[in-house]
Structure 1
Amino acid sequence: MLPEHPAALRSLKARRLYRRHGQVGLFFVGGLSVLAGMTDAIGFLASGDFVSFMSGNTTRLAVAVSEGQFGLVLRLGLLVITFVLGNALGVMIARSSRKRAWPLLALTSLLLLSAAFCGDYLELLALLAAILAMGMLNAAVEEVNGLPIGLTYVTGALSRFGRGLGRWLMGDRRAGWRMQLVPWGGMLFGAVLGGWLEHRLGFAALLFSSALAALIGLASLFIPRRWVQRYMAR
């Protein structure tokens, strides 16, 4: 049996590495989506406001404007602005740390920890800390193998999944669209877990979100740095 050509071996190795890069990225996305879903459910049940689902808060803001509920308009406007600032801060931290995930996740963990401890006394402050953390989280992963990923919202994931399904039904056999179920499933599972925890602990359930963020940050240290750099914000 003749040995394989070196170019073919390199090509096979590259394909395996590419698949491995995608698999690790999806596990990373899954964990972060569980964190987002858990935190959003805890915040929503404890305060009545969404922590990561800004589409919901935007709709509520518009309704509040139409009904003249100006106190609620100010509150929801502040939540949306805080989420935007969290996203901006996440990109700044990612770039300042030379695209390392652990500093971003460490700060996320600290913000969630502070929210857990002050939630029963300073609800709005706790809510803002959690929202800032969720905004920052989006900078942890932006794409896996060239495909866009959303961590703290799933409307885009479901839309991309649906469009991919439509293309598949029309004969396009590219399979990348299936990965969009990972953030959706992660958020769903996390929200179920977060709801269960909040019913028992209230805002203090964010302690579990804080611990999960820290664990994911620790796990990210075992991912090759060049892979993390490709996952993160550009």
Structure 2
Amino acid sequence: MKDYAGRDVALAAALSGVAGYVDAIGFLKLGGFFVSFMSGNSTRLGVGLATGHVAAALTALGLIGLFVAGVVLGALVARRVGEDRRSAVMALVAGLLISAAILIMMGLDGPGVAAMVLAMGAENAVFQRNGDVGVGLTYMTGALVKAGQRIAAALTGGERWAWVPFCLLWTGLTLGGALGAAAYLKFGVMALWGAALVVTGLAVARYRFEKASA
């Protein structure tokens, strides 16, 4: 994260917030499955296989497959337009979230949830570098490990505040999860429009920045 400008750290934290928001909505709608946290779904898959809950295992496996497909889609867009043009991947994510909201409102829950998962997979390509994820936006285990490592370094004479960006990512995801759960309990699937509008606004702002910097 030290190689990223402050605006990029802020963008990453905001997008992590969106991931937490959408994941909370998916978790509540799916009754304990995730649309962005694939470690949790992998555990559900393993438990389902061990306990003979085939339906749960197949659900988890399907969600994991869709997430990977979303990652592939986002990575292809990033490669096609150039990895520095983050607005293109963000526009893709926004489009998928809008599609998810419309589909679910129409009663097409399966395709709607699929669009949610694809969006969360694609979001991880926003900060793609040389074909690899520069900043993971939908999962925080790595960020917490890095925060702990940077704190250890600070305590032994290293850079004092290098841990802060990783904690901001975690905070964004956690607060987003709380907001998503509250919004879903109040508005149901209509809450997805909030995430779609936020990502759309971020994509437009990023596009304008890219155009001004060109």
TM-score normalized with structure 2 length: 0.88
Per-residue CA deviations over 1:16-40 (Å, capped at 9, x if unaligned) read xxx9961111111122111111111
**What percent identity do the matched residue pairs reach?**
34
Q: Is the 8 A contact 2:78 2:128 kept in 1?
A: no
Q: Is the 8 A contact 1:149 1:180 kept in 2?
A: no
Aligned residue number for residue 218 of structure 1: 204
Aligned residue number for residue 137 of structure 2: 151
How many residues are treated as equivalent by the alignment? 207
Per-residue CA deviations over 1:155-213 (Å, capped at 9, x if unaligned) read 11111101111222223236423210121111111111111110011122111111111
CA distance in 2, matches of 1:119, 1:65: 29
Q: Is the 8 A contact 2:75 2:128 kept in 1?
A: no
Superposed counterparts of 1:184-195, under 5 Å: 184-195=170-181
Aligned residue number for residue 163 of structure 1: 149
Q: Does 1:133 align with 2:116?
A: no
Q: Which runs of 5+ in 2 are unaligned?
A: none
Query: Aligned-pair distance for 1:98?
Result: 2.1
Which shifted more, 42-51 or 219-228? 219-228
Q: Is the 8 A contact 2:140 2:169 kept in 1?
A: yes
SS class of match (1:133): helix
CA distance in 2, matches of 1:180, 1:142: 17
Per-residue CA deviations over 1:128-154 (Å, capped at 9, x if unaligned) read 1101001000010247xxx95210111
What root-mean-square deviation, in Å, do the aligned CA atoms of Structure 1 and Structure 2 show? 2.4
Q: Which runs of 5+ in 1 are unaligned?
A: 1-18, 229-234
Cα 1:227–1:51, aligned 2, differ >3 Å: closer, same or farther? farther
CA distance in 2, matches of 1:188, 1:152: 11
Cα 1:186–1:218, aligned 2, differ >3 Å: closer, same or farther? same
**Corresponding letter in the other structure for 2:98:** L
Aligned residue number for residue 78 of structure 2: 94
Q: Is the 8 A contact 1:142 1:150 kept in 2?
A: no
Which shifted more, 178-187 or 147-156? 147-156
CA distance in 2, matches of 1:169, 1:185: 22
CA distance in 1, matches of 2:7, 2:171: 16
Structure whose CA Rg is larger: 1
SS class of match (1:221): helix
**Corresponding letter in the other structure for 1:109:** A
Cα 1:21–1:168, aligned 2, differ >3 Å: closer, same or farther? closer
Cα 1:227–1:177, aligned 2, differ >3 Å: closer, same or farther? farther
TM-score normalized with structure 1 length: 0.81
Q: Does 1:118 align with 2:103?
A: yes
SS class of match (2:159): coil
Which shifted more, 201-210 or 218-227? 218-227
Q: Is the 8 A contact 1:43 1:203 kept in 2?
A: no
Q: Does 1:105 align with 2:113?
A: no
CA distance in 1, matches of 2:38, 2:99: 22
CA distance in 1, matches of 2:162, 2:13: 15
Q: Does 1:68 align with 2:52?
A: yes
